[in-house]
Amino acid sequence: MTLRVGINATPLLSPLTGIGNYIAHLAAALDESGEVDLYSFYGRAWEHARPAPVAERASNPVASRVRDALKHFAPWARDLRRANQQLLFRYGARRNAIELYHEPNYVPFRVDVPVVITIHDLSWLRYPETHPPDRVRWLQREVPRAIERAAAIVVDSEFTRRELLANFARDPRQVHAVHLGVSREFRPRSAEETLPSLRELGLVHGEYLLTVGTIEPRKNVVHALAAHALLPATLRRRYPLVVAGAGGWRAAGLERKMHALATAGDIRMLGHVPNWHLPNLYAGAAAFLFPSRYEGFGLPPLEAMASGVPALVSDRASLPEVTGDAAIMIDPEQPELTSGKIEALLESDAQRADFARRGVQRAAQFTWETCARATLGVYHAVRQGVP
């Protein structure tokens, strides 16, 4: 007998970032298991189907423009929108006879069925200065309540599990570390395979460094810029730094600096890259750089590693747990040391081949099917009332 599960898919109405990708890939794997009957909530309406990105659904441009306009009136607009969604969610959950509700984005709506929540990281608690103040206030108010009410909590890593248990009073048996997966789309590709995408992006296979992530303080893009600027001029010109990611909070100053560097030819700013380009963008890079100061999991390094690209990854938070010995560890506060490691990597074919091989092997251990099986285990335990 299948379990009727409701999932809040509202993040899929925006361009896909980490949480959106988590929802889409986990839901697809859950659906393929045949053990759940999925219902998706999109902020205003329910659909009896697994969550899908807005590009795969019939979009509502008027609703999208209204959402964008309301963002300018925070904080009260967030509370007003949330209250309206709460009414619609509760009504739909009852009408569809939802048996279990999975909230993949920290804070659940109030319902009369067991709730599983996913806490991706505690950056809002550990590094509040890296988030907008209104978001921090909202999470500080709502997440403790969510953690207290949830029947079970899923986190992305053992690192985040330890942090959550150190900061909140919960039975450790009810907090489950479930690693994320890597899509099969990310794999090594030849220059011929990447050519259509890279030509459109103005890039050449094997002739650029890549960093991927939202342009915001926590992602530490400034470190990548500094490390690249310290490379010898010949390497800097041969391997420009490609920055892929949408502008986030407090991005304006950094984006001005990047525009100046782009004008000089040292970097390329791609902004948000559509999903259909990402596998080729990864696979075409000479190396991948991820200097984030804090991650609850950190999917981009694994996507690069799965693509056969050697990765230089911050030695902080969950990242060593995720990448193991298959990535080159860097100190996100020491760009001069990072620059030296980039230079050594680019000048050694043997080192690049070694880390490319190790990366592919490591990334193969993380699949969405494994993530879905572990998540289903949490659902069944909650259904049976097992801690």
In the predicted model, is pLDDT for residue 207 greater than 70?
Answer: yes
**Tokens linked to 151:** 């029947």
Cβ neighbours for 143, distance < 8 A, ≥ 6 positions apart: 106, 107, 119, 124, 125
Taking only the tens place, the pLDDT of each residue in 257-307 is 777 777 666 789 898 888 899 999 999 999 999 999 999 999 999 999 999
C-alpha distances (whole Å) from 270 to each of 275, 312, 365 are: 13, 20, 30
Mean pLDDT of 215-234: 91
**Tokens linked to 47:** 């659909």
Helix (H, G, I), strand (E, B) or coil at 80: helix
Percent of the chain clearing pLDDT 90 (strictly above): 77
Q: Please, how many CA atoms are within 13 Å of residue 91, restricted to the half-sphere of its CB?
A: 10
Taking only the tens place, the pLDDT of each residue in 38-83 is 999 999 999 999 998 875 444 444 444 455 455 555 556 767 888 9
Taking only the tens place, the pLDDT of each residue in 315-334 is 999 999 999 999 999 999 99
| Chain Cα centroid distance, residue 273 | 14
The chain-wide mean pLDDT, for the chain, equals 91
Taking only the tens place, the pLDDT of each residue in 193-205 is 999 999 999 999 9
Mean pLDDT of 369-379: 98
pLDDT of residue 263: 67
Q: Count Cβ atoms below 10 Å from residue 112 Cβ, excluding itself.
A: 10
pLDDT of residue 262: 72
Cβ neighbours for 271, distance < 8 A, ≥ 6 positions apart: 244, 245, 246, 247
pLDDT of residue 60: 46
Query: What's the chain's length in residues?
Result: 387
Cβ neighbours for 125, distance < 8 A, ≥ 6 positions apart: 139, 140, 143, 167
List, in order of start, the domains of the chain with CATH numbers.
3-181+368-383 (3.40.50.2000), 191-363 (3.40.50.2000)
Helix (H, G, I), strand (E, B) or coil at 210: strand
**Is the separation of the CB atoms in 150 and 187 below 8 Å?**
no
| Chain Cα centroid distance, residue 142 | 21
pLDDT of residue 71: 54
- Of residues 208, 290, 263, 279, the one with CA closest to residue 241: 208
**Tokens linked to 26:** 């986990």
- What is the phi-psi region of residue 123: left when phi exceeds 0, alpha when psi lies from -120 to 50, beta otherwise? alpha
In the predicted model, is pLDDT for residue 130 greater than 70?
Answer: yes
- CA gap 335, 291 in Å, rounded: 9
- CA gap 191, 329 in Å, rounded: 27
- CA gap 89, 111 in Å, rounded: 8
- CA gap 229, 123 in Å, rounded: 28
